[in-house]
A and B are shown apart, each in its own frame.
Chain A
Amino acid sequence: MITITDFLLVGAGLFCIGIYMLVSKSNLIQILIGIELMLNAAILNLVAFGRYDRFNNGGQMFALFAIVLAAATTAVTLAIILNVYKRYRTIDPGKIDGLKD
């Protein structure tokens, strides 16, 4: 039998890889992938705990909501990234340093 602890450990590993990408990458798209990894680690935790809630499905339901919210944020973020690229011709967050023009 797989215990919750195993799932939580996998989630912890994914979360830390996400943090590493978030801090070290110099490309907005890779930073976004790091955020997605962290979100997925959180969803894995929700699903793992959701096994003990058969009647209300709390964990699985909020995992579904988290997936939907991740989709919405990704769409908006990518639109912003494309706008940034149009204006600055780069998507390196270290080089985007002007407020207007």
Chain B
Amino acid sequence: MTLVQALFYLMAFVALGSAVFVASTKNLVRSIFMFFITLMALAGLYVLALADFVAITQIVIYVGGILVLILFAFMLSGRENLNYISAIQNKFISIRKLPALLLAALFLIGLINVVVKMDTGNLEWVKISMEQKNDIQPTIEMTGNIGVNLMTHYLLPFEAVSILLMIALIGAAHLSRKEVAV
């Protein structure tokens, strides 16, 4: 087992384990902070998939932006929902969660079936890309290529996403302002 493989299994274990903890814990604050661990482990997985720029973006935007926003909303939305949550559910598996658990388990079985049957190593386009040396090697630096592609090949989606960000910014500011007394 090489170092890369060991790191992959470590990251996958941390990501899945902390995600299960996020889903199962009663304490909302603790679940938000464990979600932080999940996002960090996912950034590690992106690095192992040779996408270092995406990993950095994940840390900057998800961990720095979204998580802080979620914490903010949690702090602002009162503390009585904390007591409420710990009062109603004590066990991870209780009878009112059984349908959700069943749904998730069935989905997992289906997804694993699809993934295993797909046999990704022998896909047609993957083989073609390997032949044409189109796969990313660990020694190549990708960030410059991403920047050039963003300004040439993907310029239209880039502009569209910037307009959408503008709309979301204005919309969020509009939604969260104080209501004018009528």
Contacts and interface: CB of A to CB of B under 8 A. Distances in A.
Interface of A: 1-10, 12-17, 19-21, 23-24, 26-27, 29-30, 32-34, 36-37, 40, 43-44, 47-48, 50-57, 59-61, 63-65, 67-76, 78-83, 85, 89-92
Interface of B: 4-5, 8, 12, 15-16, 19-20, 22-23, 28, 31-32, 35, 38-39, 42, 45-46, 48-51, 53-54, 57-58, 61-62, 65-66, 69-70, 72-74, 76-78, 81, 84-85, 88, 97, 99-101, 103-105, 107-108, 111-112, 115-116, 118-121, 125-126, 129-130, 133-136, 140, 142, 145-146, 149-150, 153-154, 157, 161, 164-165, 168-169, 171-173, 175-176
Contacts of A61: 146, 149-150, 154, 157
A12 B111 contact: yes
User: Taking each of B19, B150, B165, which has the highest tally of chain A beta carbons within 10 Å of its own beta carbon?
Assistant: B19
Given A16-B104, A33-B70, A54-B133, 17 more contacts: A2-B5, A4-B120, A8-B118, A10-B45, A19-B107, A24-B100, A26-B88, A29-B70, A30-B31, A44-B45, A47-B51, A51-B49, A74-B70, A76-B172, A79-B171, A81-B73, A83-B175
Given A12-B115, A47-B51, A57-B146, A64 B42 contact: no
